[in-house]
C-alpha cells in the first residue's frame, strides 16, 4: 500500500465531511427541499465573492465559466485585451478568438506578473477595448497578478475587467465589489475543496449592462437565464445536485474557519513552502510575484522532470510538473484548499527525499525545518496548566 497525498493545483483534496455530504441520496431539484439548500448556498457564495450580485452556479469545469464570461459580454468583432503570461492567459485568448473577437495580447514573461501600466497604456491606445481578461493567480507559472491595481485602471473606463479567479477565490481576499471586478470566475476543484464539475461566475452591474447588449450566440451558458432562475432559488437546467450538497458543506467549512483565517492559512502555507524551497538552495519560478495557491520551483541540475511522476507513482505524493516551456524544468507544489501545515511538511520531506533518490546532494530536513519555522506561526496556544 502507498498512502497518497494530493498536492497539485486542482483537483485538490476533498474534506471528509464534504465527501459524506455528496454521498447522501439524491433528491429532486424542483422541490422546496433543494430550493432551500440552493438559496443558502447561493448566499454563502456571495459572501465568498464579497458581492451583492448573484454568483451563478454552472455545471461545468472552470473553463465553462471562462467561456460564459466571454460570450455573455461581447459581440463578434469586439476587441479584447488578453494578459498572456501562462497557459491560462493563453486560454483566454483562445476562447476569445474562438468567438470571433479581435484579440490584443500583452505577452508577459513566464514567472512574472503583468505591469498594470502596460494595461493602462493599451486601453489609452484602444479605448474601444471591451474586456481586459486576466488571471488573478496564473496557476501554470505560479504568479499572482495585481488585480487590485488593474481594477483601478478599468474602473475609470468603459472596459470590463474579467478575472479568472480559479486559484484565487478562497485563497486570498479578492473582494469583487470593493475592487470593481466586473466578471469573476472560479471552479469547484481548487480552493473550494470539491471534485471538478462546478463553475461559478458573477457579473457587476456594468457587466450585466454589457450582457444585455452582447450578441454572441449562447444557450447553455446564457447567464441571464441562469440568473432569472437562481433568483427563484433554482437553476435553468438540472444542477449537479450531489456537487451542490458538497458545495453547501464546503462553504460551511470555509465560513466556520472564517475567511480571514482561510486567507491567512494560505499565506502562511505559501510562505513556509517558499522558505523551504529557498533553504534547499532551489530557485523559485515566481520570486517577485508568487501566488499563495501554488509554489513553483526549478528542479536542481541533474534532477529530471520525471521526478514528478516518480514521487506520484512510487512515493504517493502528487505535485504538478511544468507545462510547455516549463515542461521537465519545474515542479509545482500546491497549497490551496483542504491543506494544512503537515501537508507542507510532507511536501518538503518528499521533495528532499526525491532529490536524494535521484542521487543529487541535499541536506535532509533543511527545507522541512525552514518551513516549520514559519508553520509555527499557525500553532495554537497550548492549553493553560
Distance CA 14, CA 190 (A): 10
Does residue 34 touch ligand PLP according to CB under 6 A? no
Q: How far is the CB of 187 from ligand PLP (least distance, A)?
A: 4
Task: Give the H/E segment covering residue 200.
Answer: strand 198-203
Does residue 187 touch ligand PLP according to CB under 6 A? yes
Q: Which stretch binds ligand PLP (CB under 6 A): 107-115, 159-167, 210-218, 256-264?
A: 159-167
Surface-to-core class of residue 118, CB atoms within 10 Å of its CB (0-12 exposed, 13-18 middle, 19+ buried): middle
List the one residue out of 247, 256, 273, 252 whose CA is nearest residue 336.
273
Cβ distance to ligand PLP smaller for residue 137 or 273 = 137
Q: Which of residues 241-260 bind ligand PLP (CB under 6 A)?
A: none
Does residue 88 touch ligand PLP according to CB under 6 A? yes
Candidates 95, 131, 166, 282; binder of ligand PLP (CB under 6 A) is 166
Q: How far apart are the first and last CA of the chain?
A: 41
Query: Residue 298, preceding bond cis, omega within 30 degrees?
Result: no
293: DSSP letter: S
Q: How far is the CB of 343 from ligand PLP (least distance, A)?
A: 19
Contact assessment for residue 86 and residue 296, using Cβ atoms and an 8 Å cutoff:
no
Cell digits of residue 362: 541535499
Distance CA 67, CA 333 (A): 28
Does residue 63 touch ligand PLP according to CB under 6 A? yes
Does residue 326 touch ligand PLP according to CB under 6 A? no
Cβ distance to ligand PLP smaller for residue 189 or 235 = 189
Does residue 92 touch ligand PLP according to CB under 6 A? no
Distance CA 152, CA 203 (A): 17
Does residue 89 touch ligand PLP according to CB under 6 A? no
**Which residues have a Cβ under 8 Å from the Cβ of 321 and sit 6 or more positions away?**
305, 308, 309, 327, 328, 330, 331, 332
Does residue 139 touch ligand PLP according to CB under 6 A? yes
Distance CA 269, CA 220 (A): 38
Q: How far is the CB of 359 from ligand PLP (least distance, A)?
A: 33
Cβ distance to ligand PLP smaller for residue 65 or 362 = 65
Does residue 154 touch ligand PLP according to CB under 6 A? no
Q: Which stretch binds ligand PLP (CB under 6 A): 18-26, 72-80, 164-172, 307-315?
A: 164-172
Q: Which stretch binds ligand PLP (CB under 6 A): 93-101, 145-153, 160-168, 346-354?
A: 160-168
* Footprint on this chain of ligand PLP (rule: CB under 6 A): 9-10, 61-63, 88, 135, 137, 139, 164, 166-167, 187, 196
Amino acid at each position: 500500500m502507498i498512502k497518497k497525498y494530493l498536492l497539485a493545483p486542482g483537483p485538490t483534496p476533498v474534506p471528509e465531511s464534504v465527501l459524506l455530504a455528496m454521498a447522501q441520496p439524491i433528491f429532486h431539484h424542483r422541490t422546496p427541499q433543494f430550493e432551500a439548500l440552493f438559496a443558502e448556498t447561493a448566499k454563502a457564495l456571495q459572501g465568498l465573492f464579497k458581492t451583492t450580485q448573484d454568483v451563478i452556479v454552472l455545471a461545468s469545469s472552470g473553463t465553462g465559466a471562462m467561456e460564459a464570461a466571454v460570450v455573455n459580454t461581447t459581440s463578434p468583432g469586439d476587441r479584447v485585451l488578453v494578459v498572456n503570461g501562462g497557459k491560462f492567459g493563453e486560454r483566454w485568448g483562445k476562447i476569445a478568438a474562438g468567438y470571433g473577437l479581435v484579440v490584443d495580447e500583452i505577452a508577459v514573461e513566464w514567472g512574472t506578473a503583468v505591469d498594470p501600466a502596460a494595461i493602462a497604456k493599451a486601453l489609452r491606445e484602444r479605448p474601444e477595448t471591451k474586456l481586459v481578461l486576466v488571471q488573478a493567480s496564473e496557476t501554470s507559472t505560479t504568479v499572482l497578478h495585481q488585480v487590485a491595481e488593474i481594477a483601478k485602471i478599468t474602473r475609470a473606463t468603459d472596459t470590463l475587467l474579467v478575472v479568472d479567479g480559479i486559484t484565487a477565490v478562497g485563497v486570498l481576499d479578492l473582494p469583487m465589489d470593493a475592487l470593481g471586478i466586473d466578471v469573476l470566475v472560479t471552479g469547484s476543484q481548487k480552493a473550494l475543496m470539491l471534485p471538478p464539475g462546478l463553475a461559478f461566475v458573477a457579473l457587476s452591474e456594468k457587466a450585466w449592462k454589457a450582457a444585455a447588449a452582447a450578441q454572441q450566440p449562447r444557450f447553455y451558458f446564457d447567464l441571464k437565464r441562469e440568473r432569472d432562475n437562481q433568483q427563484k432559488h433554482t437553476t435553468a437546467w438540472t444542477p449537479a445536485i450531489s456537487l451542490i450538497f458538497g458545495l453547501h458543506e464546503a462553504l460551511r467549512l470555509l465560513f466556520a474557519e472564517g475567511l480571514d483565517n482561510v486567507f491567512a492559512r494560505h499565506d502562511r502555507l505559501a510562505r513556509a513552502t517558499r522558505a523551504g524551497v529557498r533553504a534547499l538552495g532551489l530557485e523559485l519560478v515566481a520570486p517577485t510575484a508568487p501566488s499563495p495557491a501554488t509554489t513553483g520551483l526549478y528542479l536542481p541540475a541533474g534532477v529530471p522532470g520525471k521526478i514528478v511522476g516518480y514521487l506520484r507513482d512510487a512515493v504517493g505524493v502528487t505535485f504538478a510538473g511544468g507545462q510547455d516551456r516549463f515542461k521537465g524544468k519545474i515542479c509545482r507544489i500546491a497549497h490551496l484548499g483542504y491543506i494544512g501545515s503537515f501537508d507542507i511538511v510532507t511536501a518538503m520531506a518528499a521533495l528532499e527525499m526525491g532529490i536524494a533518490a535521484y542521487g543529487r546532494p541535499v541536506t535532509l530536513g533543511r527545507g522541512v525545518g525552514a518551513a516549520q519555522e514559519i508553520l509555527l506561526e499557525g500553532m495554537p496556544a497550548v492549553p493553560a496548566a
